[in-house]
Structures are given as structure tokens and as C-alpha cells.
């Protein structure tokens, strides 16, 4: 049992990339599925597959590397934690690396990127930064 499953998800991706693994398997949840979908849409991972084995299911993520074996995700960090939630309004949405990275935001419209939240003019909880 762990207190922050999203931080565990991000750490598993970080550790798998530093070890040079091609695939990482992570316990599933709705929030993790949404974050995985965003990572694939934005080109940070190759593909993903949801397996509904057991009560929780798993997510298998195929990691993406450059030609010189560098991971495509340079940094992935948790912003809002269970001990200190980080909420932003529609006008205070963060820009990661001046627009080169993405911030994953949990809004009333679902889990979306900072750019989509700006277009929809909604704020929410800042889950993580990816670049």
C-alpha cells in the first residue's frame, strides 16, 4: 500500500528509462490511464496497452528513445502531492519550458494538458510536468 499512486507511476517510468527498459508494467487506475493517453498523444511514449487481468488491471507502456539511446522524456516530475495539493485558475496555468513541455492538469473536463485547459478556459489540479 502506498499513499501516492501517481508518484509511483511516474517513478516507475523514470526508473525504467534510466535502466534502459523497452516496456514498463504499472498497476492501472483511471487517472493513470488518462495520463498515459496524454503521453502517447504528445509523443513521449511509443504505445500503451491496458490489460484487465485481476481486480485492478495493468498498463503496459512501450517507452520511446532517441537514436542515441536517450529517453524521449527528459524529466517527469510530480507537482501536486497528497500532502500539498497545487490548484491553479484558468489564468494562472503553468507553461513548462516556455511551451516546449507539457503540464498535465486534472480539470472538471477531465485530465488534459495545459494548452487544452487554456483553450477551454478551465483551471484545476496540476498533476505533473513532462519535458
In this structure, are residues 104 and 88 in contact, taking their beta carbons and an 8 Å threshold?
no
pLDDT in tens, 94-105: 999 999 999 999
Q: Say if strands 110-113 and 58-63 run parallel, antiparallel, or are unpaired.
A: unpaired
Task: Provide the 10 A C-beta neighbour count for residue 35.
Answer: 23
pLDDT of residue 45 exceeding 80, the answer is: yes
- What is the torsional sign of CA 64, 70, 75, 76? positive
pLDDT in tens, 57-86: 999 999 999 999 999 999 999 999 999 999
Overall pTM surpassing 0.75 (yes/no): yes
**1 grid coordinates:** 500500500
Q: What is the fold, at CATH topology level, of the domain defined by 76-130?
A: Dna Ligase; domain 1 (3.30.1490)
The mean pLDDT of 1-18, rounded to a whole number, is 94
Q: Which of 64, 50, 51 is nearest to 130 (CA)?
A: 64
pLDDT confidence tier of residue 54, bands split at 50, 70 and 90: confident
Residue ranges in 20-102 assigned as alpha helix (H): 30-41
Domain spans, the chain: 5-63, 76-130
**How would CATH label the architecture of 5-63?**
2-Layer Sandwich (3.30)
Q: What is the mean pLDDT of the chain?
A: 96
Amino acid at each position: 500500500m502506498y499513499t501516492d499512486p501517481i508518484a509511483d507511476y511516474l517513478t516507475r517510468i523514470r526508473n525504467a528509462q534510466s535502466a534502459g527498459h523497452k516496456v514498463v508494467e504499472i498497476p492501472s487506475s483511471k487517472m493513470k490511464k488518462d495520463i498515459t493517453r496524454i503521453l502517447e498523444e504528445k509523443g513521449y511514449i511509443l504505445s500503451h496497452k491496458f490489460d484487465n487481468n485481476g481486480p485492478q488491471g495493468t498498463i503496459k507502456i512501450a517507452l520511446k528513445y532517441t537514436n542515441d539511446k536517450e529517453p524521449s522524456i527528459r524529466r517527469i516530475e510530480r507537482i501536486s502531492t497528497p500532502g500539498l495539493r497545487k490548484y491553479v485558475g484558468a489564468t494562472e496555468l503553468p507553461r513548462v519550458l516556455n511551451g516546449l513541455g507539457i503540464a498535465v492538469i486534472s480539470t472538471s473536463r477531465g485530465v488534459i494538458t495545459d494548452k487544452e485547459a487554456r483553450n477551454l478556459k478551465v483551471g484545476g489540479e496540476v498533476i505533473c510536468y513532462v519535458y
